[in-house]
A and B are shown apart, each in its own frame.
Chain A
Amino acid sequence: MAAAMWSFFYKLGSPPWLYAISGVILRWLLPGTLLALAVGMVWGLLFTSPDFRQGNSYRIIYIHVPAAVVALAGYYVMALAGAISLVWRMKMADVAMKAAAPIGAAFTFIALFTGAVWGKPTWGTWWVWDARITSMLILLFLYLGVVVLYEAFDNKEAAGKACAVLSLVGMVNIPIVYKSVDWWYSLHQPASIKFTGESTIDSSMLYPLLLMIASFYTLFFCCLLLNIRAELLKREARTQWVKKLARVVGGH
């Protein structure tokens, strides 16, 4: 068991293996994810009843909540990868950290944008500087910070270290995002889905929401793999396996 685990980690460090296995995973996971997203969106938009207080604007929940949940989860991925590359100097962890940053930024942007568009008809305003929304904005800046910081260094090893430190320091923001709606009284409502105790959402609304959360998770994973693959090729440009691949794509 332990031997199998170590051989798995050993293989993870091998770029051609990672490139090949991620290609196989994506061939199945990406179409499946797109299908699940389409089903979830149609379900939420067309086949659920409106909220008794908010009316139809609540349908934004099916993209807002999944995007926000995965934007936070993605930060763990980025910070953990950063920590691994700092401590064990694992190159693939550095690739994963760099790959996670732009996707996390995209998901955080979706959460903020859909939140603003939901806020207008519900609260009467696009934006309030309350704790939840402000800490999500900081999350966006942290993701973008890693993207920009990585590009700012000519020395990529120094870039990786600086970004890993930034993403680890940024971890302090995560519990603030989670707890902000409980710690501060604000316009933003507390979570409706709870792991402990009764959820305050009807099951007819809960099932499409859970489907959308699951598909946003797999979407994040797909985007992560796609970014990792693009980055791998660039870093391994001098190796034989990448040259072979380039000859096949180049058509000679």
Chain B
Amino acid sequence: MYFDSLHALLTMDGHGAYVWTAYGVTILVIVAALCAPLRRRRRFLLQLGAELKRAQGVAVGSTREER
């Protein structure tokens, strides 16, 4: 490892704030880019699943009434 101490790693001779900000924001953007489509897909499937369940319930209910 290049740095002698945790302090040296964090400050990086005065460049620490820039370097860590750049890496932090990059990681945030990557996480957001990965999570957004995963969440969108899951929400869609749950919503469609609930709709299908409701439609099935209505269909079952109406056949019972007919009897």
Contact = CB atoms under 8 A, between A and B. Distances in A.
Interface of A: 30, 37, 41, 45-50, 55-57, 59-60, 63-64, 67, 102-103, 106, 109-110, 113-114, 117-118, 120-121, 219, 222-223, 226-227, 229-230, 233-234, 237, 242-243, 245-247, 249-252
B44 A230 contact: yes
B48 A120 contact: no
B38 to A, nearest CB: 6
B37 interface: yes
A246 B15 contact: no
Contact of B49 (A41, A120, A251): A251
Interface string B10-22: 0011111011011
B58 interface: no
Q: Is the interface of A mostly helix, strand, loop or mixed?
A: helix
A234 B40 CA distance: 10
A118 to B, nearest CB: 7
A49 B49 contact: no
B19 A60 contact: yes
Nearest to B49: A250
Contact of B32 (A106, A120, A251): A106
A233 B22 contact: no
A219 B30 CA distance: 9
B42 A67 contact: no
Contact of A57 (B15, B44, B46, B52): B15
Contacts of A223: 33-34, 37
Contact of B45 (A102, A109, A249, A252): A249
A61 to B, nearest CB: 10
A106 B53 contact: no
A118 B38 CA distance: 32
B49 A110 contact: no
- 3 smallest CB-CB distances across A and B, nearest first, come from A250-B49, A56-B12, A246-B48
B15 A245 contact: no
